[in-house]
Structure 1
Amino acid sequence: MRGAAAAAALLALAACAVPSARVEAPTRAAAAPAALPPVKVFPARRPQPPQRSNADIARDFLDLHFRLEGGSTLPQFTRFEGPVTLRVTGSPAPGFSRDLNALLARLRDEAGIPIRRVSGDSAGITIQSVSRAEIRRALPKAACFVVPNVSSLSEYRRNRRSARTNWSLLRSRERLAVFIPNDTSPQEVRDCLHEELAQALGPLNDLYRLPDSIFNDDNIHAVLTGFDMLILRATYAPELRTGMSRAEVAERLPAVLARLNPGGTRTAAVWLPETPRAWIAAYEQALGPSASPRDRLRAANRAAEIARDLGWQDHRRALSHYTLGRMLHVREPELALQHFRTAMSYLRGLPGTRMHQAKLTVQLAAYEIATGNGAAALARLGPAADTAAAHENAALLSTLLMLQAEALELEGRSVEARRVRLDSLGWARYGFGPDWVVEARLEEIAALRPSAP
C-alpha cells in the first residue's frame, strides 16, 4: 500500500489535538506568513433540528435526566425554576465574553430559557475562569467541570467530599458553579462553556448512543446541536417541574415533544441498543493517558470486538474502528488505513454523522496527499470543510483547509493553495490558540506532501 508509511505522520494527529513540539519548517513554500491573520470567529447560526423520531428523543431525554454517567439513577427531575441568573468571576480569556453572550442568546432564542448575565455577588450559576493547573488540582482528569451548591473553586475544595456536591443527592437547582480554563485555545474555552453550562441547566448524563449531541463523551460535537437545544427546550417546558418522577415526566413528554418538534411524530423510531459498560470502559481506556501504549491498544481492540460481537451498525461501531486505527498508525499504518475506511463505511448514509465523517476525512485525505493523489483528496475535503464550518469547529476546519491547500499544490493550483492556506490560519488561531501551535500544525501538514522528484 504505497505511501501508507508516509501518511502515518499526519494520521497521528487528532483533528483538534495540539502539536506537542515545534518541528523544523519544510523547505518548500508552505510556511506561515511572518504575521498571522486575525483570529476568525463564526457568524451566528441556527442548527438543523434533529432528524430523529420523538419516540427515540423521549427515551434519550429520560436517560439523560434520570441517569448519571457511572450508571446510577436519579429519583427525580431537576431544573432551575424561574429566571436564571449568571455571573462571571476570575480572569476570563480574551474573547470569552463574546462567546458567552452568543451562547446565552442561543439559550434564550432556541431553548426558551430565561437566562441573563448579572454583575452582583451572587447568581444561580457562577462561571469561574481559572487556569488549567487550578482545575487539574481540583479534578485531575477534567478540562472543565460543573458542581452543584458552590460558587467558587475554593468552596468546592472545602466541600468536595460532602453531600452538597454529590449530583446523585441533588433535589433542586438553586446554585451551581462552572469552572472554565482561561489559558487554552479560544475554541476549548468555548467548548467548555457549551458543555458545562448545558449540564448546569439540563441533563447530567452523557450517552454514547447519541450521534448528534454534545451530551456524549466522544467529543465529536463542539457546540450545542439542534438536538441539544430541543432537549433543553423540553427541559424548561411548562408541563414539567422539579420534583417529578421518571414516570411522571414520561407521561407528559410525548405531548411536549409533539408541540416542540412536530416533524418527529412522523419519523419512525430507530431504537439504538444500550451501550454496555464493557465497551465504555474499553473505549475510555484506549483514549486515557494513564494507560501504557500496549494497554491502550488492547483496550481499543477490545472495544472493536465488543462492537462487532454486538452486531452494531451505527456510529459506535465506526468510532471503535476509528480509535483502533489511531492506535495502530505508527506500527501498522496499512492496517490503520483499513480501519479508517471501515469506519467510514459504517457512517455513510447514517443521519447525524456528518461530523464523524468530517473527522475521518482528515485521516483519509492525509493518505491521498501522501500518495500524491490530490484530486481524490480534494473530493473528500470540500464537503468535510463545509461540515466543520456548519458545526463551528475551527480546529477541524483549519486542519481540513491546510490539507486542501496541499492537495491543490499537488494539482498545480498554487494560487488557490495560497488563498486556502491563508484562510486556514485565522481559523487555526481560534481552534489551536498560540501562534507557534498554528505554525507547527501548518508545517506538519506541509511535510505530508511528497517532494517533487
Structure 2
Amino acid sequence: MRFPFAVTALALFLSGCVSATPEQVTMTRSDASPSGERLAPLQSFAQALPAPAARSNAEIAQDILDLEFLMESGRALPVFTRFEGPITVALTGDVPTTAPPDLTRVLSRMRAEAGIDIAPAGNAAQAAITIDFQPRAAMRRAVPQAACFVVPRVSSFAEYRAARGSGVTDWTTLTRREKVGIIVPSDSTPQEVRDCLHEELAQAIGPLNDLYRLPDSVFNDDNFLTVLSGFDMLVLRVHYDPALQNGMTRAEVAARLPAILARLNPAGEGRGAGRPLAMAPRAWVDAVEQAFTPRGSDAARLRAAQRMLSIAQTQGWQDNRLAFSWFAIGRAQVSQDRAAATEAFRTAQAIWQRLPGGDVRSAHVDMQIAAFALSDGRFAEALALTERAIPVVRRAENAALLATLLMINAEANAALGRMHEARAARLDSLGWARYGFGSDAQVRARLSDISGLATTGRSG
C-alpha cells in the first residue's frame, strides 16, 4: 500500500501550507507560465540508473525476512507465497495516457534486473495482475489512507468492494499467488501513477511489508524513493530464486537466504553486519501518521514529531528512522521557527549522508534549505545547494523534486545576473513539472511560489 506522503514532502512549507492534490492531469496543452515561458511538453525519464544494494548480506537477509513475513498492519504471514510461471499484467478502467509506457518500462526493468518472467497480458481477462484505474474519491471512500493498494484474489475495484471484509482478500490465507488486483487513482499526476506502478507491482509479486528503517528502498512508507532501487530488485530476484518455494515458513526461508544472497550478491559478503534492527513500535508509527497528516495544526504535528524523536532516541536507533524523526521536526517548524527547522533538517541530513540510499533524502533537505536561502537573498548558496542535489534527483527519477530544484536554480541564477543559465534551468523545469505536478495550474502555482521566494530575497 502506498501512502500519500510524497506529495506533502515536496511542498515548500514556507507559508505553512500543504500543497493541494492536483485537480487534473494535463499533458498536451502548452500555456504561458508566470515568467512568460510556454509550458513545455511533458518529460519522462529514459534509462534507469539504480545503484546496487550497498549493505551486508546479513542485514539484507533480516530485511527480507521482515518484508516477507509481516504485513504493514503488523500481522504475521504464516508462509512464503509467490506466482508460479510467467506473470501477465493488464491495465483496466480509466487508464491515464502515461500509464502504458511507464508500465512497459518497469516490466522491462523487472525482467532485466530481477530476472522475473513478467509481461503485458495478451488477454486482459486472463491476466495474473490487473491494474484498475478508478477515481480517487471512490478509492478514498473504501481505503481513506491509501494513495494506491494491492489486493489478492480480485481483478477489479468492484470485485474488491464486493469481497471486502471476507476472507477472500486476506493475504494471510494464501499459500500461492494466482490473481492479484492493484487499485490506482485515475485522476492523479503522472508521477504518482508511475510511483504506484512501481511499489504496488513489487508488492503484488513480492514482499507485502514496508519498513521505515530501509533508506534504499520503495518498501518504505516515507515514500522518499519513488522508483524501484537496486536493493528492491535484489529482493525481487531473491523472491523468485529456485531455492525458495511456495508454502515455506519463515525459518525455512531464513535457512536458505545466506546461500541465495552469497550467490546473487557476492559483494554483500565482504561487508560487516550491523546490530540487528528491531521493528518500529506501534507508538512511533502512529506518531509518524500524526506528524505528516495534512489535517490539524503545526503545533499538533510538532508534538507528534517530537514523540517520533523521543521514541527513536529511546530505542537507540541510528538508522533512517532517527533521520526521519528529525526531518519531521524540521517540517513541523518551517512556518514558525526557520532557524530550528534548519537545524533539524541539517541533523537529519547528517544521518542520511552516511546511509546507503540516503543521498535522495539528503537532496530533499538541500531543496528545503535552498528555498530558505532564496527567500533570504543568499542566492549563491541556493545555487550551490540545487546544483549538488539536481544530479542525485535526476538519477532517482523524482520529477516533482527535480522540477522544484530547477525552478529554485533558475531564480538563483537570475538574481545573480546569469540570465542564460536561468532560462535554461527554467525551461528544463517545466517539462518535469508537468510530469511531477500534473495540471498546468499546479505547475504555475509552483513557479509562482518560487518566484515569490526570490522576490522576497531581493527585497530583503
1:332 aligns with 2:337: yes
Tell me, in whole angstroms, the C-alpha distance in 2 between the residues paired with 1:359 and 1:18: 19
Task: Report Cα offsets for 1:218-252 as digits up to 9, x if no partner.
Answer: 01100000000000000000111110111111111
Which residue number corresponds to residue 174 of structure 1? Answer: 178
- SS of 1:256's partner is helix
Answer with 375-384 or 143-152: which moved more.
375-384
Tell me, in whole angstroms, the C-alpha distance in 2 between the residues paired with 1:424 and 1:115: 34
Which residue number corresponds to residue 6 of structure 2? Answer: none
1:80 is matched by which residue type in structure 2? F
1:232 is matched by which residue type in structure 2? L
Judge conservation of contact 2:22–2:438 (CA < 8 Å) in 1.
Answer: no
Which residue number corresponds to residue 42 of structure 1? Answer: 45
Judge conservation of contact 1:213–1:221 (CA < 8 Å) in 2.
Answer: yes
Tell me, in whole angstroms, the C-alpha distance in 2 between the residues paired with 1:373 and 1:295: 31
Which residue number corresponds to residue 85 of structure 2? Answer: 82
- SS of 1:137's partner is helix
1:297 is matched by which residue type in structure 2? L
Tell me, in whole angstroms, the C-alpha distance in 1 between the residues paired with 2:20 and 2:40: 19
1:412 aligns with 2:417: yes
Out of 349, 353, 357, the position equivalent to 1:344 is 349
Distance 1:230 1:446, change over 3 A: same
1:93 aligns with 2:93: no
Tell me, in whole angstroms, the C-alpha distance in 1 between the residues paired with 2:127 and 2:112: 21
Structure 1 residues 359-438: aligned runs within 5 Å: 359-438=364-443
2:421 is matched by which residue type in structure 1? E
Which residue number corresponds to residue 229 of structure 1? Answer: 233
Cα offset for 1:46? 3.6
Answer with 438-447 or 135-144: which moved more.
135-144
Q: What is the root-mean-square deviation in Å for CA atoms of aligned residues?
A: 2.0
Answer with 276-285 or 207-216: which moved more.
276-285
- SS of 2:199's partner is helix
- SS of 1:444's partner is helix
- SS of 1:147's partner is strand
Cα offset for 1:19? 7.4
Out of 316, 324, 335, the position equivalent to 1:319 is 324
- SS of 1:364's partner is helix
1:451 aligns with 2:458: yes
Judge conservation of contact 1:10–1:445 (CA < 8 Å) in 2.
Answer: no
2:350 is matched by which residue type in structure 1? S
Tell me, in whole angstroms, the C-alpha distance in 2 between the residues paired with 1:251 and 1:163: 30
Tell me, in whole angstroms, the C-alpha distance in 2 between the residues paired with 1:209 and 1:249: 21
Identity %: 50
2:209 is matched by which residue type in structure 1? N
Q: Could you list the structure 1 runs, at least 4 aligned residues long, displaced by more than 6 angstroms after superposition.
A: none
- SS of 1:448's partner is helix
Tell me, in whole angstroms, the C-alpha distance in 2 between the residues paired with 1:370 and 1:413: 18
Which residue number corresponds to residue 270 of structure 1? Answer: 274
Task: Report Cα offsets for 1:196-228 as digits up to 9, x if no partner.
Answer: 111000000000110000000001100000000
- SS of 2:458's partner is coil
Count, aligned residues:
438
1:415 is matched by which residue type in structure 2? H
Larger RCO, structures 1/2 (Cα 8 Å, 6+ apart): 1
Tell me, in whole angstroms, the C-alpha distance in 1 between the residues paired with 2:224 and 2:309: 18
Cα offset for 1:278? 1.9
Cα offset for 1:13? 6.8
Tell me, in whole angstroms, the C-alpha distance in 1 between the residues paired with 2:15 and 2:295: 22
Tell me, in whole angstroms, the C-alpha distance in 1 between the residues paired with 2:304 and 2:361: 21
Tell me, in whole angstroms, the C-alpha distance in 2 between the residues paired with 1:42 and 1:288: 30
Out of 434, 441, 447, the position equivalent to 2:446 is 441
Tell me, in whole angstroms, the C-alpha distance in 1 between the residues paired with 2:340 and 2:106: 42
Answer with 250-259 or 327-336: which moved more.
327-336
Distance 1:303 1:9, change over 3 A: closer
Tell me, in whole angstroms, the C-alpha distance in 2 between the residues paired with 1:400 and 1:292: 27
Tell me, in whole angstroms, the C-alpha distance in 2 between the residues paired with 1:416 and 1:117: 42
Answer with 348-357 or 90-99: which moved more.
348-357
Tell me, in whole angstroms, the C-alpha distance in 1 between the residues paired with 2:327 and 2:15: 11
Cα offset for 1:272? 5.5
1:220 is matched by which residue type in structure 2? F
Tell me, in whole angstroms, the C-alpha distance in 2 between the residues paired with 1:182 and 1:20: 12
Tell me, in whole angstroms, the C-alpha distance in 1 between the residues paired with 2:12 and 2:396: 27
- SS of 1:88's partner is strand
Tell me, in whole angstroms, the C-alpha distance in 1 between the residues paired with 2:21 and 2:135: 20
Distance 1:436 1:178, change over 3 A: same
Cα offset for 1:106? 0.6
Which residue number corresponds to residue 4 of structure 1? Answer: none
Which residue number corresponds to residue 205 of structure 1? Answer: 209
Cα offset for 1:260? 0.9
Tell me, in whole angstroms, the C-alpha distance in 2 between the residues paired with 1:153 and 1:398: 33
Cα offset for 1:69? 1.5
Tell me, in whole angstroms, the C-alpha distance in 1 between the residues paired with 2:392 and 2:250: 36
2:428 is matched by which residue type in structure 1? D
- Structure 2: where are the runs of 5+ without partners? 1-10, 24-31
Judge conservation of contact 1:19–1:440 (CA < 8 Å) in 2.
Answer: no
Cα offset for 1:288? 2.3
- SS of 1:10's partner is coil
Judge conservation of contact 1:10–1:444 (CA < 8 Å) in 2.
Answer: no
Out of 298, 305, 315, the position equivalent to 1:300 is 305
Structure 1 residues 100-119: aligned runs within 5 Å: 100-119=103-122
Tell me, in whole angstroms, the C-alpha distance in 2 between the residues paired with 1:250 and 1:313: 25
Answer with 344-353 or 412-421: which moved more.
344-353
TM-score by length of 1: 0.92
Judge conservation of contact 1:12–1:326 (CA < 8 Å) in 2.
Answer: no
Answer with 365-374 or 103-112: which moved more.
365-374
Cα offset for 1:94? 1.4
1:109 is matched by which residue type in structure 2? A
Tell me, in whole angstroms, the C-alpha distance in 1 between the residues paired with 2:139 and 2:61: 34
Tell me, in whole angstroms, the C-alpha distance in 1 between the residues paired with 2:441 and 2:322: 36
Which residue number corresponds to residue 286 of structure 2? Answer: 281
